[in-house]
Amino acid sequence: MSQSLEPTVLPPPFPDHTQLPESDGEFVKNFQEHPQSLILTDSLGPILERIHPDGQYAIGQDCGIYWRQTEPPEKGAEAPDWFYVPNVPPKLDGQIRRSYVIWHEFIAPMIALEFASGDGSEERDQTPLSRSSQGKKTKPGKFWVYEQILRIPYYGIFEINRNHLEVYHLINGSYRPMSPNSRNHYPIEPLGIELGLLQGTYQNQTQIWLRWWDSQGNLLLTGSERAEQERQRAEQERQRAEQAEIARREAIPKLFAMGLTADQIAEALGLPIEEVNSLARGGD
């Protein structure tokens, strides 16, 4: 006698970044967040190119990191103001990332930064995920999610109103507050860089910014700062060359007065004999 097999009903697959919301409808809290993120990403570029010559890394700005399935879905995500994930492709199957889905990627960000518009209480919230006897879930705090679920090795909170920075390092499963070094910077050792604060102007805003330095304390420059530095270097080189040329020309009459011949002066100054004779005649 033959038996009929009941069809196996498989649970639906976990959603990926294309199936999850990329926004929870909240506004960006202030006008500093966007340029602040640009500074961090732009200035870190040369370091990441050296560490990841294959380009395998991702940087997120206000992008959701999904760590659990909820209804609605966006309640299962946290969106750091800035974060960096090593050793993952910048795109997935040729598609621009809409979010970072931890159950598909399994690699936590190395560092997450929050730009706190308020007093930082939201960013320091250590409320754990819990369920009441009636089945109601308590929303976990951001600090708790980064520490206990995502286990992000470095977590920084920048209180914009107070120009205050604190950085935590995950040690033995718990965040420990880091102490700044002698430069008042926080070393991010896996990247060989330091994080700190600096007064400056960027995109018409003059204020305190989060900035990177290398391990020797040299500021990591943005592209526009590197271009300006190169422009100043070229201008200084032009001025040095111009001053050297003036000095050579002014030396010719003095060398003639010392009894040197035109040939000797040309050889000493590295000038054509014709130019020495012309300058000796007053440029005729």
The neighbouring-strand residues paired with 193 are: 188, 214
pTM: 0.79
Per-residue pLDDT at 12 exceeds 60: no
Per-residue pLDDT at 70 exceeds 80: yes
Structure tokens at 77: 């995500």
Q: Quick one: what percent of the chain has pLDDT higher than 90?
A: 61
Mean pLDDT over each residue of the chain, to the nearest integer: 87
Decide if 103 contacts 65 (C-beta within 8 A). no
Which one has a higher pLDDT value, 283 or 96? Answer: 96
Decide if 165 contacts 209 (C-beta within 8 A). no
Summarised one tens digit per residue, pLDDT across range 75-96 is 899 999 999 999 999 999 899 9
Distance CA 80, CA 142 (A): 9
Per-residue pLDDT at 133 exceeds 70: no
- Binned at pLDDT 50, 70 and 90, residue 15 comes out as low
